[in-house]
């Protein structure tokens, strides 16, 4: 069988390469993530994905430093949290400070909505009656405009978006103030949420798509899927390897999260899927139903 430790990369619209497999760190605690990032870099990962809201940037940055790998050989992403849409520069500077880095390779707008920066909590403010999260009237196009202004400083090498629908991207691209195309869109993607139309749209706009929760997030529910298990048996690999290999086969970046060194190592090893298997995986959602595992209760509609 054709196994290999993936070193594949995609080209961003900035001309820079992004390694196709990156370590996801959502839900990895500060304690866990230090070892996870060190294990990942040791295993050969050169791409780490974090976010301000994961509240683990300090340990991620320490592991990057302690890995001994030159900074320029790593691709590091972090994300602007919703309570920082009205103070983007501050959001970035605080992230860089925690990471102990001079720049990130990619800075993403985490969600296309803003929460009150002076609310009941720095991360998750609630309305005064406690009913819903304190989402404010604020246009994400303005947030993106501020993100563009970060580029000349060199503190972010590329900017992008996350959790956007096609409609929202279209509106962003058509806005007068948008001068720099997003380099990436990061979204939930796996066999039960393939979002092919959105991927095709991004491809037509030269925006690289990144898959988060490629195993179905907490507890990796997709690994129990009978069709994926069957395909995995054919290749003599685990269903996790099939999910990750499918993401590579369809031309996306993929960000499997793990805190176990063994699973981190194995998630970097992919197989070259036969087209017929890739296409079969494309259709699993048609019979089993579409399932989105990550949909926070914002109190506003995000995913139509």
Q: What residue ranges bind ligand A2P (CB under 6 A)? A: 24, 213-220, 223, 240, 256-260, 263, 266-267
Would you say 113 or 193 has its CB closer to ligand A2P?
A: 193
DSSP notation for 254-268: EE-B---HHHHHHTT
Give the ranges where the chain is alpha helix by DSSP (H).
30-43, 57-67, 88-99, 140-148, 166-173, 196-204, 226-235, 239-249, 261-266, 275-288
User: Smaller CB distance to ligand A2P: residue 13 or 55?
Assistant: 55
- Taking residue 66's Cβ as centre, other Cβ atoms within 10 Å add up to 12
CB of 184 to ligand A2P, least distance (A): 17
Q: Which is nearer to ligand A2P, 46 or 257 (CB)?
A: 257
Torsion of CA 154, 49, 86, 16, to 10 degrees: 30
**286 CB-near residues (< 8 Å, 6+ apart):** none
The residue (of 67 and 258) whose beta carbon lies closer to ligand A2P is: 258
User: Any catalytic annotation for residue 34?
Assistant: no
**Beta carbon of residue 32, minimum distance to ligand A2P (angstroms, whole number):** 8
Q: Which residues of 4-28 are buried (b: 16+ CB within 10 A; e: fewer)?
A: eebeebbebbbeeebbbbbbbbbeb
Of 9 and 266, which CB lies nearer to ligand A2P in the complex structure?
266
| 75-80 and 47-49 strand pairing | parallel
Nearest residue to 87 (alpha-carbon basis) of 114, 127, 108: 114
Catalytic residue among 54, 107, 140, 212: 54
125-149 burial by CB neighbour count: b if 16+ within 10 A, else e? bbeeeeeebbbbebebbebbbbbbe
User: Min. distance of Cβ 208 from ligand A2P in angstroms?
Assistant: 18
Q: Report, in Å, the least distance between residue 221 CB and ligand A2P.
A: 9
The distance of closest approach from Cβ of residue 144 to ligand A2P in the complex, given in angstroms and rounded to an integer, is 26
Q: Are strands 159-162 and 184-188 parallel, antiparallel or unpaired?
A: parallel
- Least Å distance, CB 191 to ligand A2P, is 11
- Specify the residue, 75 or 144, whose C-beta has the smaller distance to ligand A2P: 75
Which residues are designated catalytic? 54
């Amino acid at each position: 069988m054709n196994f290999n430790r993936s070193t594949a990369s995609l080209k961003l619209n900035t001309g820079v390469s992004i390694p196709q497999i990156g370590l996801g760190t959502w839900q990895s605690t500060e304690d866990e993530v230090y070892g996870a990032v060190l294990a990942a870099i040791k295993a050969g990962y050169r791409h780490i994905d974090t976010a301000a809201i994961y509240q683990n940037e300090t340990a991620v940055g320490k592991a990057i430093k302690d890995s001994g790998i030159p900074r320029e050989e790593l691709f590091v992403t972090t994300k602007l949290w919703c309570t920082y849409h009205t103070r983007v520069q501050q959001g970035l500077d605080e992230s860089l400070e925690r990471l102990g880095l001079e720049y990130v390779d990619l800075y993403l707008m985490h969600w296309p909505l803003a929460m009150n920066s002076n609310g009941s909590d720095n991360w998750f403010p609630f309305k005064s009656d406690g009913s819903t999260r304190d989402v404010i009237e604020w246009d994400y196009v303005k947030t993106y405009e501020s993100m563009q202004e970060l580029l000349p400083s060199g503190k972010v090498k590329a900017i992008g978006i996350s959790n956007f629908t096609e409609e929202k991207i279209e509106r962003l691209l058509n806005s007068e103030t948008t001068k720099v195309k997003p380099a990436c869109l990061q979204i939930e993607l796996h066999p039960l949420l393939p979002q092919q139309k959105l991927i095709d749209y991004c491809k037509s706009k030269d925006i690289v798509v990144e898959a988060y929760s490629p195993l179905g997030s907490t507890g990796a529910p997709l690994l129990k899927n009978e069709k994926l298990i069957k395909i995995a048996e054919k290749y003599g690999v685990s269903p996790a390897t099939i999910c990750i290999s499918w993401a590579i086969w369809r031309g996306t970046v993929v960000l499997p999260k793990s805190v176990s060194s063994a699973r981190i190592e194995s998630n970097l090893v992919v197989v070259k899927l036969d087209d017929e298997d890739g296409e079969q995986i494309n259709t699993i959602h048609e019979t089993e139903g579409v399932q989105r595992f990550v949909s926070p209760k914002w109190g506003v509609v995000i995913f139509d």
